[in-house]
Structure 1
Amino acid sequence: MKNFVEQECEMRLLIAPGHSIGVETRLSYDPDDPYAVHVDFHTGLHAPVTWLFARELLAQGMFGPCGQGDVRVWPVGTGSRRMLCIALAAPDGQVLLEAPSALVEQWLQRTYRRVPPGHETQMLDLERELCGLLGKKA
């Protein structure tokens, strides 16, 4: 049985100043892929839209602006109104989302209980990964 760390939440898709719509989202962390987080956006299409990026990027974004290119993260607001902005860019366009900081922070803490920061390499089976890249059996 896999031991994923998942969290459902509603993010806000900012469509214009002062206007946003809710997007049901699932944050997912797999200890077998210890550096990455998966974010599934349920847009009403047949399958969710999934973005994959570094757990460390999300964690650093809780405290200040970080990221370059396709994914950027930064905090806004204070106290109970604190949110986490996530900007995603793809060839087809860009989106800006707001996520509840407290919920994301609690979820990150749960991922750290599974794989503490700095211990990610202990979770990797490098021989298996290398064989997979080379098309050989482990």
Structure 2
Amino acid sequence: MDYKVVERELELRLVLSPERSVPVPARLSYRTDDPYAVHVTFHINSEHPVHWTFARELLVEGVFRPCGQGDVRVWPTKVDGRSVVLMALSSPDGDALLEAPTAQVSAWLERTLRAVPPGTEGEQLGMDHVLDQLLAQ
């Protein structure tokens, strides 16, 4: 089955303290064969890129209002008058707070939502077909 990839490279900021942040090159990636998830790769040009995967829904909602719990939390805010989306990521290796430009994230999310509209993710996986086969037996 063919699948489509929607990618966008952008510069995030790793927030070290309220006064200090450093740029982190990142790639947002969405694949129609994994329709519920978004993939974020940090330090894309380094020897050891860091990969995170979480629910697309979390990022879609996080652009508008705080959401998520546990390992991934996302919420909108303003920093120096700019609209940004903050992502708090926790893992056994440590925690990170990343800031992404809302306009760039939203534009990319819009492309993913055009590729696979919300509510149609199951069709991408062919689940309906599999269920029909199972129930027909």
TM-score by length of 1: 0.86
1:85 equivalent to 2:86? Answer: yes
Aligned length: 129
Report the secondary structure of 2:114's partner residue. Answer: helix
Other-structure match for 1:58:
59
Q: Which runs of 5+ in 2 are unaligned?
A: 131-137
What are the residue-to-residue correspondences of 1:96-115 with 2, within 5 Å?
A: 96-115=97-116
**What letter corresponds to residue 60 of structure 1 in structure 2?**
E
Instruction: Give me the identity figure in percent.
Output: 54
Per the alignment, residue 133 of structure 1 pairs with: none
What is the CA-CA distance between 1:126 and the residue it aligns to?
A: 4.0
**Gaps in structure 1 of 5+ consecutive residues:** 130-138
Q: Deviations over 1:12-67 (max 9, x none)?
A: 00011210000000000000000000000016641311000000000000111100
In structure 1, how many angstroms separate the alpha carbons of the residues matched to 2:78 and 2:70?
24
CA distance in 1, matches of 2:36, 2:84: 23
Runs of 4+ in 1 over 6 A off after TM superposition: none
In the TM superposition, 1:1-138 aligns within 5 A as 2-42=3-43, 45-77=46-78, 81-126=82-127
Select between 40-49 and 85-94 the one with higher mean Cα deviation: 40-49
CA–CA distance in 2 between the matches of 1:68 and 1:83?
19
Identify the structure with the greater strand proportion.
2
Question: In 2 relative to 1, CA 70–44 (structure 1 residues): closer, same or farther, beyond 3 Å?
Answer: same
Q: Report how far residue 77 of structure 1 moved.
A: 1.4
